């Protein structure tokens, strides 16, 4: 593509930025939003930004939301850009979600399960009606008191796994010394370009920071026939897990943080094949923060992308690996769409000249066609006139019962 520099617009650009800052701030008489208010009262927006921005830092996510004027895609872009400036010291060990300190845990396949159902905070059980009480200030909503049990509970799908009824996951091979994960074992999307066909580790990394709306649409399409998927929510859990590293200089593991994750395991029926017996298969979703809807959509799409693995026919967009992985990232998508706002003067002039030339050729062709049609019509009229002038009329004979001579009666 050809671009040209816009000259003489420095002052206009500066004024545009100043106007953005003023409108983003709003009326000066209204108190300014603090980062703490954004973190506390817009927590789900923060969780989406840290997930799609691929950086777990709630303070920076709140700053990005404030800076982006509430545009969450722009906020994820800001966080992703900042992430590229950070050094990397260690690879963490795989987090153990089985040891999660649960805030919410539900399953749609077993009513009574070890550890019980824990509803937690959710929109699932309320009416979708506007609550005008929230328009008032200084609302106080005390949280209900409950006994906290920090004991880890087993995963629901492990119950099926003990009977061999669900497809087993292939564990990641650990380095021999049990130290940090090496780059050879796990694909790193942040340092390696996306390759096709992709392994499941690369696909899951792509989906984990993919746009929520894109994944939600794909997941919905797979349930409507474009993917032949109607799974069960095996388990949805939200809670705190520890992040552990194992520095080579120390030789033992060290917990460096505790983060909130949402994990979803979807259970799908699989009729089996010549090599695999009938069993359940799973789709997996894992996101930063409380991001339940995205994690569910991610799990559905993950299972769809495993169609070839199970010998299934690829028949929907959600099963097309190239389509999904190449269009899931909202930072790349918004950049490619919004680049159309850049000056394309040279490109457009070329297109303009081409369209003018094509129109001229079209008009000339039409004129030639019309002239030919007129000549053909004139020739047809001329031939018809000659036929009429050269034709000889045929005489008409009188009827036999009407003789031309007069009839005389006999003389007496």
The pLDDT-based confidence of 138 (bands split at 50, 70, 90) is confident
* pLDDT surpassing 50 at residue 412: no
Task: Tell me which residue has tokens 């399960």.
Answer: 113
What does the block give as tokens for 192? Answer: 């390696």
pTM, two decimals, is: 0.82
Query: In this structure, are residues 207 and 302 in contact, taking their beta carbons and an 8 Å threshold?
Result: yes
330-378 per-position pLDDT tens digit? 999 999 999 998 888 899 999 999 999 999 999 988 888 888 877 777 7
**Three-state DSSP state, 166:** strand
151-208 per-position pLDDT tens digit? 788 888 888 888 888 888 876 554 443 444 444 578 889 888 888 999 999 999 999 9
| Confidence at residue 352, expressed as pLDDT on a 0 to 100 scale | 94
- CA distance linking residue 238 with residue 103, whole number of Å: 6
- CA distance linking residue 322 with residue 337, whole number of Å: 19
240 backbone dihedrals φ, ψ, rounded to 5°? -100, 135
Query: In this structure, are residues 112 and 253 in contact, taking their beta carbons and an 8 Å threshold?
Result: no
- CA distance linking residue 270 with residue 228, whole number of Å: 11
């Amino acid at each position: 593509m050809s671009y040209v520099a816009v000259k003489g617009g420095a002052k206009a650009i500066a004024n545009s930025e100043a106007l953005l800052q003023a409108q983003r701030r709003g009326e000066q008489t209204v108190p300014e939003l603090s980062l703490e208010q954004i973190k506390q009262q817009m927590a789900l927006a923060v969780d989406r930004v840290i997930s799609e921005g691929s950086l777990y830092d709630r303070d920076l996510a709140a700053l990005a939301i404030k800076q982006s004027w509430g545009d969450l895609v722009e906020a994820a872009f800001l966080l992703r850009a900042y992430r590229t400036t950070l050094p990397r010291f260690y690879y963490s060990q795989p987090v153990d979600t089985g040891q999660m300190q649960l805030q919410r845990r539900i399953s749609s396949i077993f009513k009574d399960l070890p550890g019980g159902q824990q509803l937690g905070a959710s929109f699932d059980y309320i009416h979708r009606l506007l609550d005008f009480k929230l328009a008032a200030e200084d609302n106080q909503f005390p949280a209900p008191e409950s006994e906290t049990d920090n004991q880890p509970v087993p995963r629901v799908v492990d119950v099926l796994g003990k009977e061999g009824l669900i497809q087993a996951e292939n564990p990641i091979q650990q380095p021999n010394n049990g130290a940090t994960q090496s780059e050879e074992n796990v694909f790193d999307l942040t340092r390696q370009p996306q390759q096709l066909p992709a392994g499941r580790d690369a696909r899951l990394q792509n989906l984990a920071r993919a746009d929520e709306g894109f994944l939600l649409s794909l997941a919905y399409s797979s349930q409507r026939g474009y993917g032949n998927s109607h799974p069960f929510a095996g388990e949805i859990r939200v809670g705190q897990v520890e992040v552990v590293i194992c520095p080579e200089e120390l030789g033992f593991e060290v917990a460096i943080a505790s983060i909130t994750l949402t994990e979803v395991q979807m259970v799908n029926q699989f009729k089996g094949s010549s090599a695999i017996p009938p069993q359940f298969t799973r789709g997996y979703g894992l996101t930063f923060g409380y991001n339940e809807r995205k994690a569910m959509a991610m799990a559905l799409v993950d299972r769809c992308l495993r169609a070839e693995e199970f010998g299934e026919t690829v028949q929907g967009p959600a099963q097309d690996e190239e389509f999904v992985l190449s269009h899931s990232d909202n930072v790349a998508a918004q950049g490619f769409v919004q680049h159309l706002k850049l000056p394309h003067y040279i490109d457009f002039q070329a297109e303009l000249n081409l369209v003018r030339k094509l129109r001229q050729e079209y008009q000339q062709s039409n004129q030639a066609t019309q002239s030919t049609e007129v000549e053909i019509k004139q020739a047809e009229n001329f031939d018809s006139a000659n036929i009429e002038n050269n034709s000889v009329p045929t005489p008409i004979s009188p009827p036999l019962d009407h003789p031309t001579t007069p009839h005389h009666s006999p003389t007496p």
